Amino acid sequence: MRLEGKVAIVTGAASGIGRAVALRFAREGARVVCCDINDEGGNDTQREIGGSGGKAVFVKTDVTRSDETARMAQTALDKFGSIEILVPAAGVNDVYAGTLDITEAQWDRNLAINLKGVFLCCRSVLPIMVRQGHGMIVTISSAATIGWPPLYPAYTAAKMGVMGLTQCMAREFQTHGVGFLIFRPGYVDTPMGRQSFIDQEHRDMTTKDTGVMKPEEAAGIILNMVDGEMLYASGSIVNTMRS
């Protein structure tokens, strides 16, 4: 019950890392606002939490729209009264194409979900956390920012942007009791992770230094990152690579 009494918003909660984080947080006593654009998956996560005796609400959320992220934050306040934790885990990595082949629409979609979505989620909860005088936000980057195969220009650019954005916010809000940490995993065995690999050679190239992590293991790391004492490490990056 490490998170007893705390309220956590988790985006991308329908599957993958987001779902694993939502379930783990609930087991640790948090009241969880599960957010995703996927109704079926998001409601499944909420039902599983409730069936295990936890407390959760599902809010259908398109993280690329500021009105929907604002509604997400307001729902957390209306249902549970505060927001102590945000994990904006919603993301996509469905384009395997080089700089000359990726379309403008594919580029825009990747940047909108993977970077703008993080910005809008943070901007929606930060006034609440500042007013409270405390909060922890964990953003998710990627080992792609260190060295993946070259055919992920939009995804890699977005994940580099997540690191820069998070570190800027860490400095901006350092006197307000709000902490920011960056989780930079290698390959995580999720539906998104699996669809990112077109062949075994590609997979081996990516995982040789990072190994393969289960989403539940990623959730365990993130659980430790949202501990209040991690405030003093605000702006730091937590890696999972073996290199």
| Enzyme catalytic residues | 155
Q: What is the DSSP string of 49-112?
A: HHHTT-EEEEEE--TT-HHHHHHHHHHHHHHHS---EEEE----------TTTS-HHHHHHHHI
Tokens 């820069």, located at residue: 164
Tokens 């500042």, located at residue: 130
Taking the C-alpha atoms of residue 60 and residue 35, their distance in angstroms, rounded to an integer, is: 6
Tokens 């920012």, located at residue: 145
Torsion angles phi and psi, residue 183, rounded to 5: -100, 120
Q: How far is CA 193 from CA 56, 95, 101, 121, in A?
A: 26, 12, 21, 23
At residue 214, the 3 state secondary structure works out as: coil
Q: Please classify residue 43 by burial: count the beta carbons closer than 10 Å to its beta carbon, then call 0-12 exposed, 13-18 middle and 19+ buried.
A: middle
Tokens 């079926």, located at residue: 40
